[in-house]
Amino acid sequence: MIYAIIILLAYLLGSIPSGLIIGKSFYGIDIREHGSGNLGGTNTFRTLGIKAGLIVTIMDILKGTLATLLPLLFASDIHMLLAGIIAVVGHMFPIFAGFRGGKAVATSGGVLLGYAPLLFILLLIVFFIGLYISKYVSLSSMLAGLFAFIYTLFTGDIPLIIVVGLLTSFVIYRHRTNIGRIKNKTEPKIKWL
């Protein structure tokens, strides 16, 4: 029974549509009707600005972290990463937003923050180096995911390798249209870095 409660809570946490909440509550804007139509932090940055983008990104990270910590909070032996990956599924397919969610980057990062904080810090470094060089958020996100997977291969932590492999696959798959735009040189670049 406790397993089912943790899985349900993890999914519901992941389903919290941060971008939709911030956009509608403070700006009167449904960000799904603007920019890429995505609920994640990047579209929030582009649509609502830096402050809203930061808040949404932090909220998306923390819901992944909190979901990952649920087994500890409930003193359960369910693996933390299982709860974390369920939250990422909730973020991508949120029940509270018509199952149209984000691209899994920030919430995946939050899962790693809860389970492997050093890896999370390394991912931030890789992401910002990639962003500085390429100016593409999407490409930097995918590079960070690939780095994470390669890094985990040296940890010997089989559940971490499997989950990071899945998370990286999610991130790359959810960015497939971005990959096409990068190839066609039509993907928007950031201007602030």
pLDDT tens-place string over residues 58-89: 999 999 999 999 999 999 999 999 999 999 99
- The residue to which tokens 């962003």 are assigned: 131
- 190: in domain: no
| Backbone phi, psi, residue 99, to 5° | 65, 20
Of 131, 149, 132, nearest to 140 by C-alpha is: 131
Domain count, the chain: 1
Contact 145, 108 (CB under 8 A): yes
- 85: in domain: yes
The stretch 104-122 carries a mean pLDDT of: 97
Query: Which tokens is 150 given?
Result: 């390669």
Q: What is the pLDDT of residues 15-50, one digit of tens each?
A: 999 999 999 999 988 898 887 778 888 889 888 988
- 188: in domain: no
Question: Which residue range(s) make up the domain with 114?
Answer: 2-183
Q: What is the pLDDT of residue 89?
A: 97
- 6: in domain: yes
| pLDDT band, very low/low/confident/very high, at 146 (cuts 50, 70, 90) | very high
- 193: in domain: no
DSSP designation for 31: G
- 169: in domain: yes
Contact 37, 12 (CB under 8 A): no
- 189: in domain: no
- 181 pLDDT above the threshold of 80: yes
* The overall pTM is greater than 0.75: yes
- 67: in domain: yes
Q: What is the pLDDT of residue 157?
A: 96
